[in-house]
Structure 1
Amino acid sequence: MFLATTILYIDRAALGILAPDLQKSIGWSEEQYGYINTAFMIAYAICFLLMGSIIDRIGTKKGYLLSIGIWSVATAAHALAGRWIGFAIARFSLAVGQSGNFPSAIKAVAEWFPKKERALAVGIFNGGANMGTILAPLIIPGLVLMAGTWRVAFLWTIPISLIWMVLWFFNYNRPGQHKRVSKEELSHINSDSESTESSERLPWKAILPHKGAWAIAVAKFMADPIWWFYLFWGAKFLNEKFGVNLKEIGLPFFTIYLVSWGMGILLGGFSSRLLKRGSSINRGRKLGMLACGICAIPVVFVPHTDSLWLAIALISLAAGGHCGWSANVFSLMSDIFPKKATASVAGFGGFCGAVGGAITAFGVGKILQNVGVDGYAIPFLVAGCGYLIALLLIHLIIPKIEPLKL
């Protein structure tokens, strides 16, 4: 699952890395590039509503194969695109497939690990997200320059995906049906399971009346689009502002995502340290989110500096703030809601984040089309202020973080 998530983020990041060169060779406008990313986000939002129930219905084994099969075909379809509309269709299809990765992986963890070990298992496979974003800028530019065509960037992971699918098909089963699982292992896996666990999962309609769900919706709606902006427009900005080309993009992007990974771990643990020292959940969690928001503020100066590495440092700091923010938001879900509701809350939050991403992608394309490179000042201003505005709204919605009894 770690490998699948790594492949997912490499495939997702490829277009953003190649965007400056593709814009010149394909000839799409800033507005059309915005449409391409809007198509991805719309599909991602819609499929947050669908893929979880589909995977529950057909099972983890078939569900994961369906997910990676769709996104592998969609990734290869990018290589066939010759106009912006072709990329938009490919990105829409990519989002359909990729929306099934996390529901499949989380369901597999629930099937194979007792509750007390699931957080660690999720942390391990979710590390593929960081690994993918770190590896993509190191591998893709070199492959493209060596092959002499951008199309290889959307084809080289296909054999890896096929190997993964074969291994998954022949090796994955539920523990009770797996030949290599002993009775002792099966007993350990089921040691803290409850027969009512699956039936207790709450639908959206059960969590929407509660203010906590809307606080989380605000946190995702305001913050997730900022990360998408860095992922989809980061390379274009560095190219247009500082002249960073495909050959040179690897080190700056590697630096941004490596630093953000490390900072995310530190900032994600900051509120936990406050709680261990006796802070209330309300104070500790909100101070942790405040620290993340403060880290993002200096990014507003990125469009106004003439130093490439100062810009990279400020984006790295802000991206690290985002990673810490995301960790705190996931913790906030379990702070407020019982375990039986966290899946529904996470799905609702993810849907809101994707809707925000679609609106942002459309807006950024329009701004850059009409204003040009100076228009980057607007999304960077939002990226610097968005977290603190979100935190203020969260505080107004839930002045005191308290667990709900559902």
Structure 2
Amino acid sequence: MSLADPNAPLSVSQLNRQVKFLLETQYPAVPVTGELSNVSRPASGHMYFTLKDQNAQIRCALFKSVLARSAYKPKEGDQVLLRGKLSLYEGRGDYQIIVSSIQPEGEGALQAAFFKLKEKLEREGLFAPEHKQPLPAAIRRVGIVTSRTGAALHDILTVLKRRFPAIGVILYPVQVQGADAPGQIIAAIETANRLNQVDVLIVGRGGGSLEDLWSFNDERVARAVFASQLPIVSAVGHEVDVSISDFVADVRAATPSQAAELVSPDQADLYSLINHRRDQLTRRWLSISQTAQQRLSHLRQRLRDPGTLLREWQQRLDDRERRLVHALKNQQRLRLQRFESLEKRLHRASPLARLKTDQQRLGQWRQRLQRLGLEQLKPRRQQLASLAGQLNTLSPLNTLERGYSITRAENGQVIQQASQTKAGDQITTLLRDGTLTSRVE
């Protein structure tokens, strides 16, 4: 194939085709050493990766037929020696090596440095669980240490807006790759701790190759993360990417989006919790109200009718009146019996002088007895009259006024049944205007 006239315009496809022809014809198969990165193997079975060193990188294609003949299976981070032809992928204009053979040359330098630093910091205890700070229960403001223009910031803000729009965000913009990136990341972490304006820090970036993520494998960055008084969530790369910062941080998130989920409550869950608490309060209030109503009803049932209490006291007064009348009658009967006894003794003593003296003494005793009886009966009569006046409406005498009567035995007991008497007993019937004395036959 000859080159076209340099003065004639070429399409992009024509230019890529000519460059591909030159590469494939002018350069024989060449051996190249480097570190494997960004290794991928799609469903076609072919393998694509980047071969890199400290200063440069080149894309490589290892087709399925060559891979099937090789005992060695390439993997991320391996240092390899490969042989292949230079070519150009016309569709993207990518300069690449078509690999014809590949063999390992040990771990890549970056991978070896990663494991060396990891072992060092692990021995010092920077990864120990007892140094991990828990995330605050209530996070009001989140600090983000990442690139202002990176996809990680967009992913974090999108998740925060969806889950909890009220959460505050402070961005500490830094470079996330390159020679200046570690210093800027360290300065941002120290600034966030000094200002103490946030509750938690998210430190990270989006995905990339091992060298792209290398700033987060820097020992100085690791020690700054460990020294932070603010809890730090490390969110570096994709789910398969692991950095030294992930091991040192208080919490490791597989992606920046997951980091945003870890530091933000889900507003749907909060609404659900609020509704649940409201329902709990409602049920509690209804329970308390029902219990109070039941207690009030019980107390109302226990509260006795004042009219019932008044009737009980009236019955007690009637009973006291009956007992008082009975006691006065008994006392009077006893005194009369004593008087009769004395009188009989007087008759038995026949001398007139003694009779006269005894008569005088008897007169005196009679007067004293009468006076004493009157004095004792007076306050009781007054008390009885007072009680009778108060209880007149419920007095048995009113019952007698209506035509009823009360019959008592000789001992004063009220007769309620005929079986309480026998033939020959003397009974007294109390009527409205007097009494009748009868004898049972």
TM-score (norm: length of structure 2)? 0.16
Q: Which entry has the higher C-alpha Rg, 1 or 2?
A: 2
Structure with greater helix percent: 1
